[in-house]
Amino acid sequence: MKPRKKKKRQFRQLFARSLQRLARTRSGSAEFSGPLRSVAILAQEKLGDCVLLTPLVRNLRQAFPDLEIHLITFSRASANFFMNDPQVTAVHLVKKQPRRYFREVLSRKFDLLFNTKDHPSTWFLLQSALIRARFKVGHNNPFHEGLYDRLLDTEFHAHMAVKNCALLPLLGVTADTEACRPSLPAMPVSNEIWQLLSRLAEDIRPIGVNISAGEPNRLWTEAKWRALLERFPGERFVVLSGPDDLDAKRRLEEQCPNAVASPPTRNLYEASCIVAKLRLLVTPDTSMVHVASATGTPVAGLYREAPQDISRFGPYAIPYEIVISPTGEVSGIKPESVADAVRRLMARAIGREA
């Protein structure tokens, strides 16, 4: 572990131990009893985390139509993702507008608080202590002991969609595999995207490739994406990307005859509308894996050698193939390895149709 990361981890653990000594001790094994009129959910920061939180929000709204669902967010990305979700009562951004946050969150008392992180996080633990709630729930972890009325027991390698939904049985709500499937709140869709969707509906379902990734060690090179498309001259491809990779997207569309020219997507919901029309999606380990899980689209995922990334944040309840880099970085994966994974997924699809 790098020295900086090690220091951060040590600080988080020290902070957790300090809270455990100072805060009123909670049993960790209490049963929740009503009423349930309001819940504060501490939402994780990344877009992929947001997608994996949607099953919990959706099931809470279905089971408790009048429940106030407040999402406590720690990044602009997570706040924007849920801002227009009709199933959410209010979205609160912790690190901005402190007066508003105090007035709308810290000055009131909720019936239930849920910390979605299963490891010690300074900000999440601090808000768990500051936010007043009659009943507080967290995941079982030595650094959470004594800070929550109920600690949820889930396997470390359980999928995060399932971990989020682990709150539901405590409230008397059943959460089977399908109930834990992610979804996406509707967002604006441009006319250009609607036109593309119309063309895709009339054509053979293409294969999608998402060339963007949130971290450099999860990126696959432009040359390897081009090599992948060249291995399937008889297939049609749609190239998806984030704003930073639009130039690479356009070059692939210009250089590869089997790439369908498509407009850039402005939000994750637009991307999900396209993914829903695909035969399968090839993507590095990003939020697009969870978008595919939401739409039921098979995935060929490009991953580093990190078992927890696959088990906790991999494809959920869809056909998939995982290609693991031999070098520790996604860029080390060979195009032929990905092409083989695509062929296996297509063969499985033919088998299902037969």
Q: Which amino acid is at 303?
A: Y
Give the dihedral of Cα atoms 36, 176, 144, 67; nearest 10 deg: -20
Residues 30-72 have pLDDT tens digits of 999 989 999 999 999 999 999 999 999 999 999 999 999 999 9
| C-alpha span between 346 and 344 (Å, rounded) | 5
What values do phi and psi take at 136, rounded to 5? -120, 135
Whole-number Cα distances in Å, 148 to 143, 144, 341: 11, 7, 44
**Nearest to residue 282, comparing CAs of 266, 257, 301, 296?**
301
CA 179 to chain centre: 16
**Nearest to residue 284, comparing CAs of 237, 318, 242?**
242
Contacts of 247 (CB under 8 A, 6+ apart): none
| C-alpha span between 56 and 265 (Å, rounded) | 26
- pLDDT score recorded for residue 7: 84
- pLDDT score recorded for residue 351: 61
Look up the pTM and report it.
Answer: 0.93
Q: Which residues of the chain register pLDDT less than 50?
A: 354
- pLDDT score recorded for residue 203: 73
Peptide bond preceding 188: is omega within 30 degrees of 0, i.e. cis? no
